[in-house]
Amino acid sequence: MGEQGQRWSFVDVVWQIVRCESVLPSLLEKVAAICWGIWKNRCEVQHGGHRRSSRDIARNSLVSLEEFQAANKLAASPIVKENIKWSPPALGRYKLNVDGAVFSQIKTTGLGMVIHDDAGLVVAAMSKISIPLGPLEAEAKAIEAAIQFAIDIGIREFTFETDSLLLFNALQGTNAAASSIVNIVSGILFQSQNFRSVNFSHIKRLGNMPAHALAQHAKHVVDFVTWLEETPCLIERMCAQDVINLSLV
């Protein structure tokens, strides 16, 4: 009932709530949430569900409202872009970036690898097709193939770099290797003993784009293709940008 016994419609109630917004902020949202809760429970009862108490309806509705507001506040928060840059290896060493790509539609896997010297220049690169694998297995297989690639071109001191944190941790011994890659990891560590110096590094995908592009390119390769003392056209701009970024550090 309104003033002097006047009946209020639902619209009148909403209007009065709006007028009170400065004194009771978010009241309209809370009332709307509770109304939705009442309507939802009524539909549940009509379909054989349990009739909830008014207290339960109000409490659950307000909790849902808080969760909705928190989720939207998080989504509206400004996204801080990470400044992820590829870095060269130590003086006199080489860095071998690797990546794997899964092509589920054609049931194959692509392996990509690119070797840089300490000045950031591309020494060699490879794009290779492989058997069907999962994402983690593809990353591990990429390093396995990269070891043989390093042997073939005579590199003995280098750093493997992958964007798979799970694989990196397994190679470092920080975490146990997943069962699907435990044999591959063991083989990589065994083979690494044949080199003068080998270590492993992790970088996020944005810093590993040339290797990622070569892995994606593998779907167009019959077996494998290599580039020696030249930069593949498809990663030339990416690698050039990496070198430019070095001068800006």
pTM value is 0.66
Residues in contact with 114: Cβ distance below 8 Å, sequence separation at least 6, in sequence order:
96, 97, 122, 124, 125, 126, 210, 211, 214, 235, 239
Among 3.65.10.10, 1.10.40.30, 3.40.50.1980, 3.30.420.10, what is the CATH number of 94-248? 3.30.420.10
Residue type, 219: K
3-class DSSP state of 126: strand
- pLDDT score for 52: 82
Digit-coded pLDDT (tens) for 132-179: 999 999 999 999 999 999 999 999 999 999 999 999 999 999 988 888
- pLDDT score for 6: 63
Q: State which residues of the chain have pLDDT below 50.
A: 74, 77
Digit-coded pLDDT (tens) for 45-62: 887 878 888 888 887 777
Site of tokens 């003033």: 3
- pLDDT score for 51: 85
Give the start-to-end residue ranges of the domains of the chain: 3-76, 94-248
Task: Give the C-alpha separation, 147 to 144, whole Å.
Answer: 5
Taking Cα atoms as reference points, which of 26, 39, 38 lies closest to residue 65? 26
